[in-house]
């Protein structure tokens, strides 16, 4: 069994985790990656003394990483210097109107009480429920494969699902606890990490408050790129081989069984193929129609998670008002969600996220400089033009100057804008999505695309389209589930 050849298409976190796990289990693993480096959405861009993490920047759910590295008898700290950030992040509501979410729970409870009298106790109750949801979800829902609808609709899960507020929307759930708009925004924003909207995602995702308030926000020194490097080396150490700059063009199938792949340069034989490349894209582009698990119409009907305007900015001075993680919430913030999820149009009023990893990690910027990464979530599938990129850059830098009260433009020495077309060109992202498949109730668990092909033997998928979903920890879990499926065959 174990000396089978496995080809993994793509070296995002899904591909890296699958490579290390399967190679550890004595499969002959070869990872074939389209780009010049591992990490996928978590690529690293270095230029002129600045080092940018091009995708994820929040190291959340440390328990998931611990569980993953434990499979190899290791801890994340064996490879990385992990720091708990304090404050965890800063939330701007307007110029001179911001709050810091602390690593100290008492400080947060006092802050909530200031924002809404009585909120301290409500927050304690909310966080108690959030922790309960997280624990149950991790124990019974997340690390689990859903093959048949009956796996999902078991009486136990329905009872638990109701207790976990699976069938209620996040916004209405939070409104039952808090009246303060500021508190609601703070608690609801984390759903954006999962590519969702508080008006459309199950209230189960209030478990994200357990993630950021109770478990904390962490940073691996060297950035998320350091985590990529660690997982890549871990895979190599287990015996996995990596090939870069070689896009796969076709999955070769004979008698409904995989036999190999064709890349732009070579052909490779395989007994098992794992697709980590964008599921929607790969299903439609690497397979003939008769071998696809899902139709074009199926993909068109899915709620695809947002794309983003990303700004990678290098400044030749520190920006005082920003800390490591900063969120700006527009006062008409519902409009931004409507534009992203309902109207699928560019937002007029928008919230955005600013990360300055150089606040914690001086090596990521030039001396006395600042490494600034800005993320503006926008709908997938929009037309991406130079004019709109520049327009959003102009509006955002102007707004950041208002928020910080500082002249930024004259200190900008490096600028790159990354948007829909880049997501599509670099990662083969369907509709230029940054995050894959959104987390709505109808796209949860069994309702997400399956790990195992419906049509072709020994063909599997892993990554942010699969269960459990979006985010580095979720994608790693997706590959842990995948490994169980493959090894239990």
Ligand X SMILES: Cc1cc2nc3c(=O)[nH]c(=O)nc-3n(C[C@H](O)[C@H](O)[C@H](O)COP(=O)(O)OP(=O)(O)OC[C@H]3O[C@@H](n4cnc5c(N)ncnc54)[C@H](O)[C@@H]3O)c2cc1C
* DSSP annotation string for 244-309: -S--EEEEEEETTEEEEEEESS-EEE-SEEEE-S-HHHHHHHTS-GGG-SS-HHHHHHS-BPPEEE
| 463 interacts with ligand X by CB under 6 A | yes
Q: Token digits for 22? A: 């399967």
Q: Do residues 199 and 337 touch, judged by C-beta distance below 8 A?
A: yes
Taking the complex as a whole, the smallest distance from the CB of residue 121 to ligand X amounts, in Å, to 31
Taking the complex as a whole, the smallest distance from the CB of residue 166 to ligand X amounts, in Å, to 22
With contacts defined by CB under 6 A, name the span among 33-41, 152-160, 201-209, 291-299 that binds ligand X. Answer: 33-41
Site for ligand X in 303-322 (CB under 6 A): 308, 310
CA distances from 15 to 191, 228, 334 (A): 24, 11, 35
Taking the complex as a whole, the smallest distance from the CB of residue 426 to ligand X amounts, in Å, to 7
d(CA 187, CA 173): 11
- Residue 337: enclosing H or E segment and its boundaries? helix 333-337
With contacts defined by CB under 6 A, name the span among 145-153, 154-162, 292-300, 465-473 that binds ligand X. Answer: 465-473
Site for ligand X in 51-80 (CB under 6 A): 55-58, 60
Residues in contact with ligand X, shown as a per-residue x/- string from 13 to 32 under the rule CB under 6 A: xxx----------------x
Residue 127 CA to its chain's centroid (Å) = 23
Residue 122 vs 336, nearer CB to ligand X: 336
Largest CA distance in the chain: 67
Choose which of 40, 161, 202, 220 interacts with ligand X (CB under 6 A): 40
Q: Do residues 475 and 455 touch, judged by C-beta distance below 8 A?
A: no
Site for ligand X in 369-398 (CB under 6 A): 375
Site for ligand X in 416-455 (CB under 6 A): 427-428, 434-435
Cis peptide bond prior to 48, omega within 30° of 0: no
d(CA 270, CA 275): 12
CB-based closest residue to ligand X? 12
Instruction: List phi, psi (to 5°) of 261.
Output: -135, 155
Choose which of 238, 276, 424, 444 interacts with ligand X (CB under 6 A): 276
Decide the pairing of beta strands 412-418 and 82-84: unpaired
According to DSSP, residue 449 is labeled P
Residue 20 vs 115, nearer CB to ligand X: 20
| 347 interacts with ligand X by CB under 6 A | no
Taking the complex as a whole, the smallest distance from the CB of residue 427 to ligand X amounts, in Å, to 5
Q: Do residues 380 and 361 touch, judged by C-beta distance below 8 A?
A: no
Q: Is 257 helix (H, G, I), strand (E, B) or coil?
A: strand
d(CA 192, CA 337): 10
| 196 interacts with ligand X by CB under 6 A | no
Q: Do residues 479 and 49 touch, judged by C-beta distance below 8 A?
A: no
Residue 177 vs 393, nearer CB to ligand X: 393
| 251 interacts with ligand X by CB under 6 A | no
Choose which of 184, 226, 450, 464 interacts with ligand X (CB under 6 A): 464
Choose which of 24, 34, 302, 359 interacts with ligand X (CB under 6 A): 34
412 forms beta bridges with 315
Positions in the binding site for ligand X (CB under 6 A): 9-15, 32-35, 40-42, 55-58, 60, 247-248, 276-278, 308, 310, 375, 427-428, 434-435, 463-464, 470-473, 475
């Amino acid at each position: 069994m174990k000396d089978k050849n496995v080809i993994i298409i793509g070296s995002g976190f899904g591909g890296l985790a699958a490579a290390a796990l399967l190679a550890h289990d004595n499969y002959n693993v070869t990872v074939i990656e389209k780009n010049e480096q591992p990490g996928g959405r978590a690529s690293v861009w270095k230029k002129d003394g600045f080092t940018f993490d091009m995708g994820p920047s929040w190291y959340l759910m440390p328990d998931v990483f611990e569980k993953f590295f434990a499979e190899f008898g290791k801890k994340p700290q064996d490879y990385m210097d992990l720091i708990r950030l304090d404050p965890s992040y800063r939330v701007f509501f307007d110029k001179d109107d911001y709050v810091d979410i602390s690593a100290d729970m008492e400080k947060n409870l006092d802050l909530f009480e200031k924002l809404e009298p009585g909120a301290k106790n409500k927050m304690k109750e909310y966080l108690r429920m959030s922790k309960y949801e997280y624990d149950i979800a991790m124990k019974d829902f997340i690390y689990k494969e859903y093959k048949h609808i009956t796996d999902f609709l078991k009486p136990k899960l329905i009872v638990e699902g109701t207790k976990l507020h699976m069938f209620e929307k996040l916004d209405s759930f939070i409104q039952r606890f808090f009246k303060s708009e500021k508190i609601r925004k703070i608690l609801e924003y984390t759903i954006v990490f999962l590519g969702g909207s508080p008006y459309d995602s199950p209230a189960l995702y209030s478990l994200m408050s357990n993630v950021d308030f109770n478990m904390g926000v962490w940073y691996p020194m060297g950035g998320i790129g350091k985590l990529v490097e660690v997982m890549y080396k871990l895979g190599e150490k287990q015996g996995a081989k990596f090939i870069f700059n070689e896009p796969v063009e076709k999955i070769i199938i004979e008698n409904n069984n995989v036999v190999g792949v064709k890349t732009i340069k070579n052909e490779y034989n395989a007994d098992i193929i794992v697709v980590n490349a964008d599921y929607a894209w790969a299903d439609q582009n690497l397979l003939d129609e008769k071998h696809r698990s899902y139709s074009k119409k199926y993909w068109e009907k899915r709620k695809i998670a947002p794309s983003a305007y990303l700004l990678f900015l290098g400044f030749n001075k520190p920006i005082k008002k920003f800390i490591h993680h900063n969120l700006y919430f527009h006062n008409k913030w519902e409009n931004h969600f409507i534009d992203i999820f309902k109207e699928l149009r560019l937002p007029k009023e928008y919230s955005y996220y600013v990360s300055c990893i150089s606040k914690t990690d001086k090596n990521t910027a030039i001396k006395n400089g600042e490494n600034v990464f800005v993320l503006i979530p926008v709908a997938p599938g929009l037309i991406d033009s130079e004019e709109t990129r520049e327009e959003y850059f102009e509006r955002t830098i102007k707004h950041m100057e208002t928020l910080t009260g500082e002249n930024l433009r004259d200190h900008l020495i490096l600028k790159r804008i990354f948007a829909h077309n880049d997501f599509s060109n670099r990662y083969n992202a369907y509709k230029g999505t940054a995050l894959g498949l959104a987390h709505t109730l109808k796209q949860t668990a069994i309702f997400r695309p399956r790990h195992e092909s419906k049509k072709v033997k020994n063909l599997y998928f892993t990554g942010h389209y699969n269960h459990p979903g979006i985010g580095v920890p979720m994608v790693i879990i997706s590959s842990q589930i995948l490994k169980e499926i493959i090894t239990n065959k």
